[in-house]
Amino acid sequence: MSASYYVSANEAQGARWEFTADDLMSATSELRPDATVSAPSGPHGTIEILLPGEQGDDSVLYHSGEPVLVFRE
């Protein structure tokens, strides 16, 4: 069984993320050139980042509409 971990800014307390989906895609490509990054579908789409590892790819999703990062175990 696998789990997913959700990370978001606490908007109720006035927190927000200052990066955009484009910023995340650029930073990922710069820091991890071996990563595969999918473009979002639409202005509030989801980006999938696949990071190659020794035991398979690790997946990170970024839902730009909410915004929230999802890490899969």
Q: How many domains, in total, are found in the chain? A: 1
| Count helices and strands in the chain by DSSP H and E runs | 1, 5
Supply the Cα-derived Rg of the chain in whole angstroms: 13
Domain range for 17 is 5-72
Q: Could you tell me the two tokens for 37?
A: 């990054």
Angle among Cα 5, 46, 26 to the nearest 5 degrees reads 95
Per-residue pLDDT tens over the stretch 28-46 = 999 999 999 998 877 788 9
Q: What is the pTM of this model?
A: 0.82
47 touches 58 (CB < 8 A): no
Model confidence over 38-73: pLDDT tens digits? 988 777 889 999 999 888 888 999 998 888 999 987
